[in-house]
Structure 1
């Protein structure tokens, strides 16, 4: 489960730099595996309602 840690992210090059590193590390995974890492596990664990990305 991925979680951004804003203060630490700032110390490590900023959000874009960290996001590019994370997405690079999980690029070879199956789409369902990437979805689990980037939010699906949190939705399941915390019992959140997820309706998909905002329209836009």
Structure 2
């Protein structure tokens, strides 16, 4: 049980890091439209994962 908790802690910290990078990316979305859309799809997936971790 402790092992699973540790894995989730590491994973959630990675999700936070991705979200921080995503926020930086939004600032440059007008310059790089296509990449923004790819990143946006990733961010939506990460939000779902983050919500799942929050639920646990």
Q: Tell me the TM-score range normalised by the shorter chain.
A: 0.3 to 0.5
Higher CA-based Rg: 2
**Normalising to structure 2: TM-score of the pair?**
0.32
Which has a greater percent of helix?
Answer: 2
TM-score with structure 1 setting the length = 0.32
